[in-house]
Structure 1
Amino acid sequence: MNEQVPMNELISGAAQDAGGWLGTLPVAQVATSATGTIVRWNHVAQELLGYAPPEVVGRHIADLLHPGADRSLGRSLWETAATGRGVMGTVTAWHREGHPLELEIWACPVPSGHQEISAVLVFAADAHAARRIRGSSAVWDGLFSRSPVGIAVLDTNLRFLQVNPALEAMNGLAESAHTGRRLAELLPEVNAGEMEAAMRQVLDTGEPVLDRRRTGRTPADPEHDRVWSCSYVRVEDPGGRPIGVIASLLDITEQQRAHIEAEAGRRRLALLSEASVRMGASLELERTSQELADLAVPDLADTVTVDILDTLARAEEPGMGLGGGVALRRLGKAPLTGSTITSILAPLGRTLVFPATTPYIQALAARQPFLIARLDERAVAPAARYSTAPAQLLRAGVHSLMMVPLVARDLVLGVATFYRSRPVGPFGSDDVTLAGELAARAAVSIDNARLYQREHETAVILQRSMLPQHITPPPGVEVAHRYLPASDVNEVGGDWYDVLHLPGGEAALAIGDVMGHGIAAAAVMGRLSATVRALARLNTPPAELLHQLEATLADLAEPMLATFLYAVCDPLTGRCTVTRAGHPPPAAAEPDGTVHLIETPPGAPLGVGGIDFATTEIVLPPGSVLVLYTDGLIEARGRDIDERLTDLTSLLTEPQRPLDHLCDSLLTRLVPSAADDDIALLTARIGTAGPSYGGPSGRHSDPRSGPPAGSPSGSRSDVGQTYGRSSGTSGKRAT
């Protein structure tokens, strides 16, 4: 024995030490008589030392000590206990298999009725195991009592057995309030059902459950929701049978809030990035409004409407007066179908009139978001006299809404309304900020669409006003013409045409295309058209006329280019001179159905400078049709230019048709959908088909004197190069 400790001095501490861990340690129970003879030997003693009861019962307990050790220590320990004093100590016993075994023993006397010692009760355990368990118990006790992590021990019925101080603080309840009760009974305002299901899973499978989230409110903080990370581990007896669950809880509310805020920040950036890519590219009011609604659902709101000033929707100035209310037209709504809330709100295209006292008008007048964080009966009551929709929305589950004005360049354009109905929190300041940023981007795009639409319409009006309003060709020439502006999503260009009556009964056919779009291109087109008219009346030679047009472009503050084709035709002889500057070649359809492109030097566009323009002469049979056009007629995405020119000539094999029908056929067949570019088309029938032609003065001439020497044969080889560009590429850009 290493030491002797009187039981009456250690019983309190020993009992407490053993009480925490003795139940998990195999303990041998041995009883001796007053003289030290073994009278009882249980099965744990047999497992510990290897002796069966018949082998030791009747022997003196000192016989089991190590033969090489000082047996007097063991005898002294037993004798101390036999005198009526309980003791604890360590001895070295001899195992039946012939090896020493260090034991930790507790011995206490069993008095008779006359206070005489009749027996000694001895408890023995493996000393190494006892020290290990005692050390583990000390660690557990320190962890349990001092850890900032909440710890609980629950039985197999999931009732609390023990909780540490940290968990008491988290739950706001003392340990005594926990003991014997289940989580669902103790904290009804947390997701106790999910947590108990996780603990049952641990009891059933033995697999730990880690980081399961408990959310809700406890008496420690009844006004705020909190979040805990919970982990559960099964506790087993030595036989591996479950005897309970140990739960550990860590309050992660702040980390969760930071994570949510970071995620919200990333979501806002992603949404704004997507808005910059998707919104406003179309320059259409309706499409931009719908894009705003689609972008905000479901990341920001469950339902969104976008209402634009009715005056703006009618292409008028967006000025508004708030005295008698405002008319707004609904141009955006999401989702469009499949929602009860959507069915309550007015459909797309509806014009809504709001009195000056409604929240809509207040948001517009203040140019600030109007937020109703929590929609309830009191909040919808003021609107009841105007509409039943707010009360219907409340019944449909809308619990939060905000109205954000659409303001751009100091102009109020409309309002976007965001509704939230899912069981999530109300709109907060971050949501208002995000909605404001989306609305600001949408407002700029809507205003751009408004300005573009106004400029587009102005350019169309200018373009049309500068085209010849009344064309009166000379006798012997029949003309038909068409002008098709680009679709609304493309800007108006500078395409134009003209027919002029020249001295001597000749006709000048002119067609051009100013490179560029919008009002500037239309204005330059007007200057070129006026210059051509003035020079043609002076009978200026074609090449010189083109040089004068170049000088006109050189006078501009901003350099511009233009393609141009000028043809002078004599209806009596069929002789035509053609000069072009980077323009597509004209087509000729003879009365017998022969069709060819007039091959002339393509020249360079006007404005390039330093180029000589060549003139080509041909003679056409009477009744032949000349077709002049701008590149919008023959250009198409993904199609080779030679293929498109072949399509054009194939449509001219019936030149005897009325020219109006021919123009309509060319546009319908070559441009079946909205045009990407402006199209100008001019057709002219030169002379009258037949053996002779009677002019205005009754003169007759041979209509087929034949082409001059060196004139084109009418073949279409290398047409793309003749056009002045590579196949499949826009002539405006290639030149």
Structure 2
Amino acid sequence: MGVLDTELRYVWANDELERLGGVPLAERLGRTPHEVQPMLDPDSAEAVMRRVLETGEPVLDFEFTGRVRKAPHQHHAAAASVFRIQDAADRVLGICFMVIDATDRWRSRERLALLSEAGERVGNTLDILHTAQELADVAVPRLADFVTVDLFEPVIQGQEPTPQSPRRARTLRRAAQQSVRPGVPESVARIGQETSYAPGSPVGRCLADGKAHLEATLAPADSPWIPDDPERAAKVAEFGLHSYLSVPIRARQTTLGVVGFLRWQRSDPFEEEDLELAKEVVARGALCIDNARRYTREHTGALALQRSLLPRETSGSAELDVATRYLPAGSKEGVGGDWFDVIPLSGARIGLVVGDVVGHGVNAAATMGRLRTAVRALADMDLPPDELLAHLDDLVTRFIDEDSSGDRSASNALLGSSCLVMNLDPVAQRCTMARAGHPPPALVGPDGTVRFMEMPAGPPLGLGYLPFETTEIDVPHGSLLVLYTDGLVAGPEQDMEAGQHKLSGILGRGGDDPEAVCDDVVAELVPAKPRDDIALMVARACAVPQDRVAVIELDSDPAVVASTRAEVDRQLADWGLDDLAFSTELIVSELVTNAIRYATGPLRLRLIRQSVLICEVVDGSSTSPHLRHARTTDEGGRGLFLVAQLSKRWGTRYLPTGKIIWSEQELAAA
């Protein structure tokens, strides 16, 4: 207790106040609280006392903090109740105050506040480095003046940390740091740099035994590791770092790194109570860092899986210049199942495919791989787009039925997936397409006009209640075909129609370089962190020159085989492909002879010189020849075997009025 006069000067204090403040009564008499304890927040305390003196209204349990002369290196808190003293004639004589030491209560409240703040501020994202920085930020300046967060390199990559020998220096990577001084001048490493700690240092011991360590005073006599680390010793001397806590970042029985707490501005050293508080703060941050590490591992794995399932080569052919972009989602859901493909087809045609699998994560990426493989297999059968989608829909339905008794995550990713299939014929300069619940493609004409294809939407895959329909359009030389997934044009902020309008504006600016068009579209339509996966494909169609296509009409007479061989020889000579004359003669003889003997007219031979030499024989029969291995006693059955041996690939493509048997030869030999 203490009594002050109307000038707030001490006139009396009891023994407990002397003991609490460390100032005897003789030194207090006639002096103000500010003069007695200048470090104990005197301004706010005296303001409260003057208000009580003027108004007469008592103040109860007023708390103030600071340092007292008895222990200038420690922070203290006191709770005071102040009353005005009056005599019988109501004359104001001064004030009386009663003080209790509230340091323990104040520290407990500050401890809970710091832990609460750590729970709110740390772990708001699933980014490892951002979470580490949040952990460093929350501890400065309330617990320490300088904080470092170091993690093992595999942890930053999302992997489990590899064991290290406790007898060797520990190498970690600086993930985050914070200081009361701008620029963190106390640090010996920048964020992202490697930093090593000797085995005998607090961090080395901390990582070796997995326990937190307290060094109340940093001095060579008390810290023998300091002389062995001259770079850190220089920082200790330069900034007066005097107290150190090292706390391991442990989660699920694994040490991920270490957090260092240092003081230099605050004169009081760390105590055991500070160590316990630091351990609780780091424990909360460790779980968040480990969650971010696990997410990073899954996200990286899913992204690697998806990229491995996407085509590595999308150049198409000499008649198609293709540029693609795949942009994974920047949201917490992770990567999704958007995909694209460029498939070489027979007859110099190219298949363009783009699809979107429902959901995100590994299941979506794996489902995308299943669909892309199925589309590739169906495309090799030379099916038209509507039939390909019908077979793909049946396949998806079977996949869903297979998954119905087990994990539903795979079937959930399959059901409702969308797909667009487009077959481009650069010889006829026409395009055939069909879609299953997918956004329509855009066509940019040679004159710069932009239009979105009007075509039946078709049901998404797996529903199986409506047929798919084919649409055919002309694609002049120099046109751009733009295929995309809905993540490019639709989102929470805009509907698909508005997004397509923006896309149309970008495409209408001109430019025929697919790479430049992709860059412009991504720069203007895609946010920094897209909420959904985005797949974009821009293809510039180039017509096959007519002088590289030769068509020969054939009669159903075996005598035409010889004249056809001669005409083929002349055409190959004009193209400078004399080295392929012999093999091409054999192929043409076999295919034309089979068409005359087993099929019906009209018959036609077409040669196309592209990156390969294509031979096509068209007839009016729907019967397909079969390759077989003839026995030594058979008189026939070796023709198609020779065709297969001489060709890079061969096959049959059906038409509404017949079929085409085709063969491709490499031009490298020529």
TM-score (structure 2 length as normaliser):
0.66
Q: Residue 365 of structure 1 aligns with which residue?
A: 208
**Closer/same/farther in 2, CA of residues 230 and 190 from structure 1, 3 Å limit:** farther
Corresponding position: 1:582 with 2:431? no
Q: Residue 544 of structure 1 aligns with which residue?
A: 387
**Cα deviation, residue 606, structure 1:** 1.5
Equivalent position to 2:243, from 400, 408, 426: 400
Corresponding position: 1:252 with 2:100? yes
Q: How does 1:255-334 map to 2 (within 5 A)?
A: 256-257=102-103, 259-275=105-121, 278-281=122-125, 283-313=126-156, 317-321=160-164, 322-334=166-178
1: CA distance, partners of 2:269 / 2:312: 62
**Closer/same/farther in 2, CA of residues 644 and 540 from structure 1, 3 Å limit:** same
* Secondary structure of 1:584 counterpart: coil
Equivalent position to 1:353, from 196, 203, 223: 196
- The gaps in structure 2 that reach 5 residues or longer are 404-409, 554-605, 607-670
Q: Residue 97 of structure 1 aligns with which residue?
A: none
The one-letter code sitting in structure 2 at the alignment partner of 1:629 is: Y
1: CA distance, partners of 2:82 / 2:519: 78
Q: How does 1:642-681 map to 2 (within 5 A)?
A: 642-653=497-508, 657-671=512-526, 673=528, 675-681=530-536
State the percentage of identical aligned residues. Answer: 32
**Cα deviation, residue 265, structure 1:** 5.0
1: CA distance, partners of 2:354 / 2:37: 80
* Secondary structure of 2:196 counterpart: strand
- Give the aligned CA root-mean-square deviation in angstroms: 4.6
**Cα deviation, residue 580, structure 1:** 0.8
2: CA distance, partners of 1:218 / 1:618: 91
2: CA distance, partners of 1:652 / 1:364: 57
* Secondary structure of 2:106 counterpart: helix
1: CA distance, partners of 2:383 / 2:181: 67
Q: Residue 142 of structure 1 aligns with which residue?
A: none
Bigger drift between 203-212 and 370-379 goes to: 203-212
2: CA distance, partners of 1:205 / 1:171: 23
Q: How does 1:88-487 map to 2 (within 5 A)?
A: 150=1, 167-168=14-15, 171=18, 182=29, 227=78, 229=80, 231=82, 233=84, 248=96, 250-253=98-101, 256-257=102-103, 259-275=105-121, 278-281=122-125, 283-313=126-156, 317-321=160-164, 322-335=166-179, 337-338=181-182, 342-343=185-186, 345-375=188-218, 378-387=221-230, 389=232, 392-393=235-236, 396=239, 398-423=241-266, 425-471=268-314, 473=316, 477-486=319-328
Contact 1:482 1:663 in 2 (8 A): yes
**Cα deviation, residue 269, structure 1:** 4.5
**Closer/same/farther in 2, CA of residues 512 and 315 from structure 1, 3 Å limit:** same
**Cα deviation, residue 497, structure 1:** 1.9
2: CA distance, partners of 1:224 / 1:623: 77
Q: Residue 467 of structure 2 aligns with which residue?
A: 612
Q: Residue 652 of structure 2 aligns with which residue?
A: none
**Cα deviation, residue 261, structure 1:** 4.7
2: CA distance, partners of 1:315 / 1:682: 31
Contact 1:577 1:615 in 2 (8 A): yes
2: CA distance, partners of 1:272 / 1:289: 12
Corresponding position: 1:599 with 2:454? yes
**Cα deviation, residue 602, structure 1:** 1.7
2: CA distance, partners of 1:620 / 1:478: 12
**Cα deviation, residue 218, structure 1:** 11
* Secondary structure of 1:646 counterpart: helix
Contact 1:376 1:394 in 2 (8 A): no
Q: Residue 570 of structure 1 aligns with which residue?
A: 425
* Secondary structure of 2:550 counterpart: coil
The one-letter code sitting in structure 1 at the alignment partner of 2:170 is: V
Q: Residue 708 of structure 1 aligns with which residue?
A: none
**Cα deviation, residue 232, structure 1:** 6.6
Contact 2:480 2:512 in 1 (8 A): no
Contact 1:202 1:232 in 2 (8 A): no
The one-letter code sitting in structure 2 at the alignment partner of 1:697 is: A
**Closer/same/farther in 2, CA of residues 401 and 611 from structure 1, 3 Å limit:** farther
TM-score (structure 1 length as normaliser):
0.61
**Closer/same/farther in 2, CA of residues 170 and 391 from structure 1, 3 Å limit:** same
The one-letter code sitting in structure 1 at the alignment partner of 2:543 is: T
Contact 2:63 2:80 in 1 (8 A): yes
Contact 1:492 1:678 in 2 (8 A): yes
**Cα deviation, residue 482, structure 1:** 1.1
The one-letter code sitting in structure 2 at the alignment partner of 1:594 is: T
* Secondary structure of 1:550 counterpart: helix
**Closer/same/farther in 2, CA of residues 666 and 392 from structure 1, 3 Å limit:** closer
Corresponding position: 1:532 with 2:375? yes
Contact 1:591 1:656 in 2 (8 A): no
2: CA distance, partners of 1:224 / 1:664: 59
Contact 2:310 2:340 in 1 (8 A): yes
**Closer/same/farther in 2, CA of residues 686 and 151 from structure 1, 3 Å limit:** closer
Contact 1:512 1:583 in 2 (8 A): yes
2: CA distance, partners of 1:423 / 1:171: 25
* Secondary structure of 1:645 counterpart: helix
- The gaps in structure 1 that reach 5 residues or longer are 1-149, 702-735
* Secondary structure of 1:568 counterpart: strand
Question: Matched residue pairs, number?
Answer: 529
**Closer/same/farther in 2, CA of residues 159 and 510 from structure 1, 3 Å limit:** closer
**Cα deviation, residue 645, structure 1:** 1.5
The one-letter code sitting in structure 2 at the alignment partner of 1:532 is: V
2: CA distance, partners of 1:204 / 1:622: 92
1: CA distance, partners of 2:446 / 2:377: 33
**Cα deviation, residue 191, structure 1:** 6.4
1: CA distance, partners of 2:211 / 2:485: 50
Q: Which has the larger radius of gyration?
A: 1
Equivalent position to 2:493, from 633, 638, 647: 638
Encode CA deviations 1:509-538: one digit per residue, 9 max, x unaligned.
211122222332222212111111111222
Contact 1:483 1:678 in 2 (8 A): no
1: CA distance, partners of 2:535 / 2:77: 71
The one-letter code sitting in structure 2 at the alignment partner of 1:605 is: P
2: CA distance, partners of 1:450 / 1:227: 44
